[in-house]
Chain A
Amino acid sequence: MKLLIVDDSLVIRNKINSGLLKRFDKVLRAKNGVEAIEVVKLVRPDVITMDLTMPEMDGVECIQEVMKVCPSTHILVISALADKATAIAALSCGANGFLCKPFTQSQLTDAIEKVLAIQLSR
């Protein structure tokens, strides 16, 4: 199982990484949407944790691109609750769940398991 962490904050990337390192065989990181798309094309991850507010390409745009390239990927949006409308747009585009920052490790693992439990038929 491969995980891709997309977040412009190094602290958040490290936090997600430490929380999910044991759950996945391989963990990759990207600090914006553009990097994330390149990784998705090469690696086709099973799960992506996606921030919404990032430089260069934001989360919603990135999810739309990921859906074109690798629609079988499970996506968990991890973001602060500044703009609920953007979070809803991300979910409408194809993300499978939302986790609000700040979060605990148990909330993170629980959300990842719930996202993985979804049967994707796309």
Chain B
Amino acid sequence: MLKQLFGKYRFLVISIALFLIFDIGVLVLNIYTSGKIAEQTELINLAGRQRTLTQQMSKATQYIRAQKLQQWVYQSGLAELRDQFDVFGATIKAFNEGGQTTSAETGAIVSVAKVETPEGRAILAEATTLWRGFEQAISPLMIDVLITDEEIEPASEFIAANNLKLFDQMNRLTEHFTHESEKQTTFLRMAQIGGITLATINFFVILFHFLKQLRGRDRRLEIKQHESDQILDTINEGVFLVDENLSIGGQHSRHLEEVFDTKRVSGRRLSRFLSAYFPEKIVKTALEYTRLYFQSHINPDLIADVNPLKRVKATVAQSSGEVFEKYLDFSFAPLRQENDKRAILVSVNDVTDSILLEEQEEKNEDQVERQLALFSQILPINPDDLEVFIDECLSGFEQLNQTLKNNKNVTDNYDQTLARMFRETHKLKGSASALSFSWISNQLHDFESSIEGLQKQGERKILRGQDLLTLTIQLRQMYESIETVSDLGDRLKAYGIKHIAAQAANALDVSNEKQPVENKRWFGLRDFAEGIAKEENVAVDVSLRGFSEALEPHIGETLYPIAVQLIRNSIAHGVESRKTRQCLRKPNSGQISLSISHDSLGNYRFVYEDDGRGFDYDGIRASLAARGVMSKSSAAKLSKNELVQNAFRDNLSTREGVDQNAGRGVGLSLVWEQVKLLEGNLKIRSVENEFTQFIVDFSMSEEPKEPLISRHVA
């Protein structure tokens, strides 16, 4: 019960109670013993008076006798004797039985307790016996005013004979009372000393007990403090407390200082602390999130997912002045403190290494995937075609690089520069597509998109050299890609792995038409066309004539991009769907033919023809208007010949939207660029819904010629 009532303070309460009991005990004993001593003093006085009275009664008797003999007046002596007799008698009676008598000091009536001590009783017994003799001797003198000689003489003799005896007894009694008084005084002193000693001992017990307790508690606190300091110093995590006012507590782990490279943490507002490392928006959300932990309607287990400080990027400015970016991961745990106040334990981990590792792993996985994809794309390509393509790319990239370098510091002519770069890229993309090499063609497509973006920017503002920086970066990546391809191709060769295409080509060589090694990629155009046709959801048949004879490298390299672009154009724009073709009574598959022939003088003719819908004149008009080349009304007035002429402009396309196959309007302009390289003439014949024919005439003789486009449109 005491334990319940006073808890850990019960020892203190008991100690104080004992202290009071000892003190009150001594006080009560003091009062009691003091009373006893006072009574004893009265007895001593009374006994002393009795002793005096024996002497006085003897003296009075002798006085009366002497006066009587002289016949003098003796009544005064008689009155004294009678008083002395009464007082002595009353007092000795009071000693014997307890009762009242007159005080020896004041004369007042005092009560006297019966003497109980054996020694006192013995003295009194003897004294009482003697007093009875005195009473018998003196009592005749108590009756009349006049006394006779027969009355005084025996009394005088008796008193003279026994006076000293009674005096002696009264003296003994006085000494006895004095002795008793001394005993009580000694007892009182001893009791006082005992009480005070106990109280003092109790006091020191309390003092030492509490000193011990305090020291123990201090030591435990020190140990706890030391332990928590050790934990906070060694824990590999930033830890701190946040109170309901969103202020940071007084203690935090040392690691926290390392994470944020600051010692100013304790007692700061959370908002100020976070603002030093995170953008305002994140800080605002983080504070709102922290407040949720203090709201009673929220289950803390159900809000961890919305933690805005999970794997968040922080900018930490170090004392050296350097600024670092770190990824930090905060976690929150609600606590209830002793005084029922709430707090949140916030722990912070630097997860930069693990995030960078994850990113690196992802990058590696991507790279492995890309290499696998690259490998799977390279394997079917004829090694010779691949070699030609790599050379073509390296040469094309070099041209692009030179163009970028030359235009770094020039602020005008960007239109032309970009158009030239676009054409070069488009040509390479055509070659990549022809080899079904999407890994490279996608990069070239992205490069085209970047050029197109710059062209659009150029319509709004004057471009500067730094605007071309993205192209430089992309070009560098493409260089790396083509080097990877080259490296992989070399390795495949080194391992002696025969390419699927090479094997297939070798197999075909047995049964099919003659395919000179120099012209192999021309025969690959059938697969290329089928691939694009599949994407465009149409069907085509490609026939080749005149390619059984090996083409001169220069002619082959220049004509090949023309063929690629025209095939793409035919499939994307010309060849109708199977249903439409059936309605037009055309074969289900679009017919594309390529032929090359030459005479003995070195005059060449390359003919490309499809049986598609022909030129989309309305589309060209709309595109011219949309590109701002001319107004709608001017475009409407253009003849078909003029429209075809305009179709060779850069960036003109009748296709809505851009994809790998068409839409950027660069195909025909590229064709014209290639024709110009051959110093040849281009003739175009087109009949709506019947066919479109491109005829390139060029000569390999030494006479220079001016290139010319002529159109024959039905």
Query: Are A100 and B305 touching (Cβ within 8 A)?
Result: yes
Query: Are B302 and A85 touching (Cβ within 8 A)?
Result: no
Instruction: Report chain A residues within 8 Å CB of B296.
Output: 118-119, 121
How far is A89 from B308 in the complex, measured between Cα atoms in Å? 12
How far is A87 from B297 in the complex, measured between Cα atoms in Å? 15
Quick one: CB contact mask for A83-117 with B, threshold 8 Å, 1 for yes? Answer: 01101110110101111100000000001001101
Query: Are B292 and A88 touching (Cβ within 8 A)?
Result: yes
How far is A22 from B564 in the complex, measured between Cα atoms in Å? 65
Q: Which residue of A lies closest to B302 (CB)?
A: A97
Query: Are B299 and A88 touching (Cβ within 8 A)?
Result: no
Q: Is B535 an interface residue (CB 8 A)?
A: no
Instruction: Report chain B residues within 8 Å CB of A92.
Output: 288, 291-292, 295
Q: Which residue of A lies closest to B307 (CB)?
A: A84
Query: Are B299 and A114 touching (Cβ within 8 A)?
Result: yes
How far is A114 from B297 in the complex, measured between Cα atoms in Å? 11
User: Which B residues, 11 to 30, have Cβ-Cβ distances below 8 Å to chain A?
Assistant: none
Instruction: For B285, give its contact among A84, A120, A122 (CB under 8 Å).
Output: A84
- Given the known interface contacts A85-B285, A120-B297, A121-B296, the answer about A114 and B302 at a Cβ–Cβ threshold of 8 Å is yes
Instruction: For A122, give its contact among B289, B292, B297, B298 (CB under 8 Å).
Output: B297
Quick one: CB contact mask for B306-331 with A, threshold 8 Å, 1 for yes? Answer: 11100000000000000000000000
Query: Are A85 and B308 touching (Cβ within 8 A)?
Result: yes
Q: Is A5 an interface residue (CB 8 A)?
A: no
Query: Are B299 and A96 touching (Cβ within 8 A)?
Result: yes
Q: Which residue of B lies closest to A85 (CB)?
A: B285
Query: Are A76 and B285 touching (Cβ within 8 A)?
Result: no
Query: Are B306 and A88 touching (Cβ within 8 A)?
Result: yes
How far is A99 from B304 in the complex, measured between Cα atoms in Å? 10
Query: Are B298 and A97 touching (Cβ within 8 A)?
Result: yes
Q: Which residue of B lies closest to A76 (CB)?
A: B302
Instruction: Report chain B residues within 8 Å CB of A114.
Output: 299, 301-302
Q: Is B303 an interface residue (CB 8 A)?
A: yes
Question: Nearest-CB distance from B282 to chain A (Å)?
Answer: 9
- Given the known interface contacts A85-B288, A92-B288, the answer about A118 and B299 at a Cβ–Cβ threshold of 8 Å is yes
Question: Nearest-CB distance from A78 to chain B (Å)?
Answer: 11
How far is A111 from B299 in the complex, measured between Cα atoms in Å? 9
Question: Nearest-CB distance from B329 to chain A (Å)?
Answer: 15
Question: Nearest-CB distance from B79 to chain A (Å)?
Answer: 102
Instruction: Report chain A residues within 8 Å CB of B288.
Output: 85, 88-89, 92
Q: Is A81 an interface residue (CB 8 A)?
A: yes
Question: Nearest-CB distance from A103 to chain B (Å)?
Answer: 10
Query: Are A98 and B305 touching (Cβ within 8 A)?
Result: yes
How far is A111 from B302 in the complex, measured between Cα atoms in Å? 7
Q: Which residue of B lies closest to A97 (CB)?
A: B302
How far is A76 from B281 in the complex, measured between Cα atoms in Å? 25
Query: Are B299 and A115 touching (Cβ within 8 A)?
Result: yes
Q: Which of B291, B296, B299, B303 has the most CB atoms of chain A within a 10 A radius of its CB?
A: B299
How far is A111 from B303 in the complex, measured between Cα atoms in Å? 10
How far is A94 from B297 in the complex, measured between Cα atoms in Å? 7
Instruction: Report chain A residues within 8 Å CB of B284.
Output: 85
User: Which A residues, 66 to 84, have Cβ-Cβ distances below 8 Å to chain B?
Assistant: 76, 81, 84
Query: Are B292 and A97 touching (Cβ within 8 A)?
Result: no
Question: Nearest-CB distance from B292 to chain A (Å)?
Answer: 5
How far is A84 from B306 in the complex, measured between Cα atoms in Å? 5
- Given the known interface contacts A88-B289, A91-B292, the answer about A98 and B306 at a Cβ–Cβ threshold of 8 Å is yes
Q: Which residue of B lies closest to A113 (CB)?
A: B299
Question: Nearest-CB distance from A91 to chain B (Å)?
Answer: 5
Query: Are B303 and A98 touching (Cβ within 8 A)?
Result: yes
Instruction: For B297, give its contact among A76, A81, A96, A111 (CB under 8 Å).
Output: A96
Query: Are B302 and A81 touching (Cβ within 8 A)?
Result: no
- Given the known interface contacts A88-B285, A89-B288, the answer about A118 and B305 at a Cβ–Cβ threshold of 8 Å is no
Query: Are B297 and A88 touching (Cβ within 8 A)?
Result: no
Instruction: For B299, give its contact among A84, A94, A97 (CB under 8 Å).
Output: A97
Instruction: Report chain A residues within 8 Å CB of B303.
Output: 91, 97-98
Question: Nearest-CB distance from A30 to chain B (Å)?
Answer: 22
Instruction: Report chain B residues within 8 Å CB of A94.
Output: 297
Q: Which of A81, A88, A97, A115 has the most CB atoms of chain B within a 10 A radius of its CB?
A: A88
Question: Nearest-CB distance from B416 to chain A (Å)?
Answer: 45
How far is A81 from B308 in the complex, measured between Cα atoms in Å? 10
How far is A90 from B307 in the complex, measured between Cα atoms in Å? 14
Question: Nearest-CB distance from A95 to chain B (Å)?
Answer: 8
Q: Which residue of B lies closest to A92 (CB)?
A: B288
Query: Are B301 and A88 touching (Cβ within 8 A)?
Result: no
How far is A96 from B303 in the complex, measured between Cα atoms in Å? 9
Question: Nearest-CB distance from A88 to chain B (Å)?
Answer: 5
How far is A93 from B308 in the complex, measured between Cα atoms in Å? 18
Query: Are A91 and B306 touching (Cβ within 8 A)?
Result: yes
Instruction: Report chain A residues within 8 Å CB of B301.
Output: 97, 114
Instruction: Report chain A residues within 8 Å CB of B289.
Output: 84, 88
Quick one: CB contact mask for B263-304 with A, threshold 8 Å, 1 for yes? Answer: 000000000000000000100110011011001111101110
Instruction: Report chain B residues within 8 Å CB of A117.
Output: 299
How far is A76 from B299 in the complex, measured between Cα atoms in Å? 10
Question: Nearest-CB distance from A65 to chain B (Å)?
Answer: 17
Instruction: For A98, give its contact among B285, B291, B302, B308 (CB under 8 Å).
Output: B302
How far is A104 from B295 in the complex, measured between Cα atoms in Å? 27
- Given the known interface contacts A91-B298, A96-B298, A117-B299, the answer about A81 and B306 at a Cβ–Cβ threshold of 8 Å is yes
Question: Nearest-CB distance from A73 to chain B (Å)?
Answer: 11
How far is A56 from B238 in the complex, measured between Cα atoms in Å? 44
How far is A91 from B289 in the complex, measured between Cα atoms in Å? 9
How far is A98 from B306 in the complex, measured between Cα atoms in Å? 8
How far is A56 from B223 in the complex, measured between Cα atoms in Å? 62
Instruction: Report chain A residues within 8 Å CB of B299.
Output: 96-97, 114-115, 117-118
Q: Which of B289, B291, B306 has the most CB atoms of chain A within a 10 A radius of its CB?
A: B306
Question: Nearest-CB distance from B279 to chain A (Å)?
Answer: 12
How far is A120 from B301 in the complex, measured between Cα atoms in Å? 16
Chain B residues close to A by CB (< 8 Å):
281, 284-285, 288-289, 291-292, 295-299, 301-303, 305-308
Sample (20) of A-B pairs whose CB atoms are under 8 Å apart = A81-B305, A81-B306, A84-B285, A84-B307, A84-B308, A85-B285, A87-B305, A88-B288, A88-B292, A88-B306, A91-B306, A92-B295, A96-B298, A97-B298, A97-B299, A97-B302, A98-B306, A99-B302, A114-B299, A120-B297
10 shortest interchain CB distances as A-B pairs: A97-B302, A87-B306, A100-B305, A85-B285, A88-B288, A114-B299, A84-B308, A84-B306, A97-B299, A88-B289
Beyond contacts A76-B302, A84-B289, A89-B288: 15 other A-B pairs, Cβ-Cβ < 8 A, are: A81-B305, A84-B285, A84-B307, A87-B306, A88-B306, A91-B295, A91-B298, A91-B306, A96-B298, A96-B299, A97-B302, A98-B306, A118-B296, A118-B298, A121-B296
Chain A residues close to B by CB (< 8 Å):
76, 81, 84-85, 87-89, 91-92, 94, 96-100, 111, 114-115, 117-122
